[in-house]
Amino acid sequence: MAKAKLVTYTVVYVPPYPIRNVYAVGVVEDERGEKIPVRIEQKYAPHLRAGLEGEVVRRWTPFGEIDFFVPKVEEKPARKVALVTGASRGIGRATVLKLASIGYDIALNDLELTDEGKEAIKQIESMGRKAIFVKADVSKFEEVQDMVNRVIEELGRVDVLVNNAGINIDRLLVNMTPEQWQKVIDVDLTGVFNCTRAVLPHMIRQGGGRIINVSSMSALNGAIGQANYAAAKGGIISFTKVVAREYAKYNILCNAIAPGAVRTRMTLSMPPGLLRERVANIPLGRMAEPEEVAELIAFLAETTYITGQVISINAGEYV
Ligand code: NAD
């Protein structure tokens, strides 16, 4: 290990197979004035400037031994920011509270700021974190772009996007109108595209990010009465895999979760008889609390190696 200063650098994009990578190369000067060509990991890209101090470390790579420059910088941003859609109640609300408790500033999205949402913002502020409400209908791309621009202006970055907003309009397929089909696809699937598409350029520029998409057990088990919802939630799983593979090279990890029955307004609006029958079939004998799902989302917000996965949280209702 030798102390050195960065003289010059450039960021390199290598898209074709099998390399598919983004990194920086540069020249550093060591304490004896010797110039050394180096590679620099992509995560340091936002910090690079001539004169930056650090160390040269020789590392083994699949392409042989290479000198890496490891700059002396704070690797984690001082503040982390999460944007959670549909966050004024239910799973989204539990998620913003959990993420704030582990150090995130929060952009809380929904169609309206409800009393429950206002209360969540107060709680987040009492934890010493920032919280803003960003109104947008996730199914409308322009509204979503304005929302993301506001988050960047007011909170500076987006480290985590939780695509949580969702609706259901359950009918047997023979009774489902084209409007009922389209509405659920627009919010539950196109909404995920809109938010991810709007946030990705910022995550690429800032050197990484995490995207967690809230799918559903319905995508896996063919839930009766949910052709529109299950199709949208299944689409989310395929979408997640593509995003994971396209953007891993930018340190952007994307995963989906597939909850079973969670005790929120969405589930409690089921006819009581059907709900009782459903809970009776859950091996653990109860619905999940929104906080239990929020724990999983927070875990995926902090992961450094899981991507492209769909993680079930259903107490064994579907295995
Ligand atoms: P919920 O109805 O309590 O919350 C959904 C939130 O999304 C609401 O605050 C609503 O206003 C918001 N929303 C709806 N349409 C929106 C839009 N167009 N733009 C922005 N916000 C919008 O339901 P929940 O159970 O907390 O659901 C959260 C997510 O979890 C949904 O994607 C849902 O499909 C999924 N999910 C829920 C369960 C469950 O059992 N509750 C199971 C599996 C998956």
pLDDT digits (tens, 9 = 90+) for 94-140: 999 999 999 999 999 999 999 999 999 999 999 999 999 999 999 99
- Which of the following is catalytic: 229, 250, 305, 318? 229
> Is 268's C-beta closer than 6 angstroms to any atom of ligand 1?
no
Position 319 in a domain = no
Same domain membership, residue 61 and residue 156: no
Q: Which of 263, 258, 301 is nearest to 106 (CA)?
A: 301
- Structurally, how many domains does the chain consist of? 2
pLDDT digits (tens, 9 = 90+) for 73-106: 876 656 899 999 999 999 999 999 999 999 999 9
> Is 105's C-beta closer than 6 angstroms to any atom of ligand 1?
no
> Is 92's C-beta closer than 6 angstroms to any atom of ligand 1?
yes
From 96, 109, 110, the mutation candidate for ligand 1 (largest count of ligand atoms within 8 A of CB) is: 110
How far is ligand 1, taken at its centre, from the CA of residue 164, in Å?
A: 6
Atom 10 of ligand 1, residue of closest alpha carbon: 86
Two structure tokens written together for 265: 């307004």
71, 99, 125 — which closes off a domain? 71
Query: Mean pLDDT over all residues of the chain?
Result: 95
> Is 138's C-beta closer than 6 angstroms to any atom of ligand 1?
yes
Same domain membership, residue 48 and residue 31: yes
Task: Enter the pTM of the model.
Answer: 0.89
Position 144 in a domain = yes
Same domain membership, residue 197 and residue 52: no
> Is 226's C-beta closer than 6 angstroms to any atom of ligand 1?
no
Same domain membership, residue 200 and residue 140: yes
Does the pLDDT of residue 201 top 70, yes or no?
A: yes
How far is ligand 1, taken at its centre, from the CA of residue 90, in Å?
A: 7
What three-state secondary structure class fits 140?
coil
Residue 229 appears among annotated catalytic residues: yes
Looking at residue 19, what is its pLDDT?
A: 54
Name residue 27's beta-bridge partners.
Answer: 8, 37
pLDDT digits (tens, 9 = 90+) for 234-262: 999 999 999 999 999 999 999 999 999 99
Position 6 in a domain = yes
The CATH number that applies at residue 147 is: 3.40.50.720
Does the pLDDT of residue 314 top 80, yes or no?
A: yes
How far is ligand 1, taken at its centre, from the CA of residue 83, in Å?
A: 15
> Is 91's C-beta closer than 6 angstroms to any atom of ligand 1?
yes
Domain that holds residue 66: 2-71
Same domain membership, residue 147 and residue 32: no
Confidence of residue 179 (pLDDT cuts 50, 70, 90): very high
Does the pLDDT of residue 1 top 80, yes or no?
A: no
Give the number of C-alpha atoms closer than 13 A to the C-alpha of residue 27, restricted to the C-beta side. 5
How far is ligand 1, taken at its centre, from the CA of residue 94, in Å?
A: 12
25, 46, 71 — which closes off a domain? 71
Strands, sheet with 310-313, edge to edge from the N-terminal-most edge strand: 131-135, 104-110, 80-84, 160-163, 209-214, 252-259, 310-313
Name residue 314's beta-bridge partners.
Answer: none
Does the pLDDT of residue 285 top 80, yes or no?
A: yes
Average pLDDT over residues 228-232: 98
> Is 296's C-beta closer than 6 angstroms to any atom of ligand 1?
no
Average pLDDT over residues 182-194: 99
Spatial distance between the Cα atoms of 214 and 258, rounded to a whole number of angstroms: 7
Average pLDDT over residues 185-213: 97
